[in-house]
């Protein structure tokens, strides 16, 4: 599902592959046909994609930030980091293709990690902005 047809044209493809085993999870995102030579952010989010980019909800966190609320998602680097969330930032090549992979030392809780959202830029890490990566450009449901 695309929300920005310049960065993520109709006809672009994105596939998410998730493997978990023995308390460890690897997620691989493969994209083709996006805007070439461009940085994107991407993360696993908690809810399924919908017509509104916000429908996918906040990032999945292994240990939930107690300060986060529905209106104010976690931006504390103690929780919003690539060991406690799945970050899949990538940079497309001159054909608009890229692959990103992330491995973490935990497994998803059932039905709480439902989508991958592609964002406007790479993910920030400083306090108060950790986990933020700009507008939501596209969304892929995990199957
Ligand atoms: Cu995100």
How many Å lie between the centroid of ligand 1 and the Cα of residue 21? 24
Torsion of CA 27, 32, 36, 38, to 10 degrees: -20
How many Å lie between the centroid of ligand 1 and the Cα of residue 45? 6
Q: How far is CA 29 from CA 1, 73, 84, 132, 138, in A?
A: 15, 23, 18, 19, 13
Average pLDDT over residues 127-131: 96
Nearby residues for ligand 1 (ion, Cβ within 5 Å): 43, 117
Domains of the chain: 13-141 (2.60.40.200)
How many Å lie between the centroid of ligand 1 and the Cα of residue 125? 13
Q: Looking at residue 23, what DSSP letter applies?
A: T
Residues 77-105 pLDDT 10s: 999 999 999 999 999 999 999 999 999 99
Environment class of residue 29 by beta-carbon count within 10 Å: exposed (0-12), middle (13-18) or buried (19+)?
buried
Residues 20-34 pLDDT 10s: 999 999 999 999 999
């Amino acid at each position: 599902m695309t929300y920005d047809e310049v960065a993520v044209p109709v006809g672009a493809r994105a596939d998410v592959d998730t493997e978990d085993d023995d308390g460890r999870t690897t997620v691989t995102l493969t994209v083709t046909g996006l805007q070439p030579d461009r940085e994107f952010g991407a993360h696993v989010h908690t809810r399924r994609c919908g017509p509104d980019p916000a429908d996918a909800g906040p990032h999945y966190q292994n240990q939930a930030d107690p300060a986060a609320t529905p209106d104010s998602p976690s931006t504390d680097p103690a929780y919003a980091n690539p060991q406690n969330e799945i970050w899949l930032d990538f940079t497309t090549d001159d054909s608009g293709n890229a692959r990103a992979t992330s491995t973490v030392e935990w497994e998803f809780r059932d039905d709480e990690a439902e989508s991958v959202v592609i964002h406007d830029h790479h993910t920030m890490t400083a306090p108060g902005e950790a986990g933020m990566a700009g507008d939501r450009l596209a969304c892929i449901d995990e199957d």
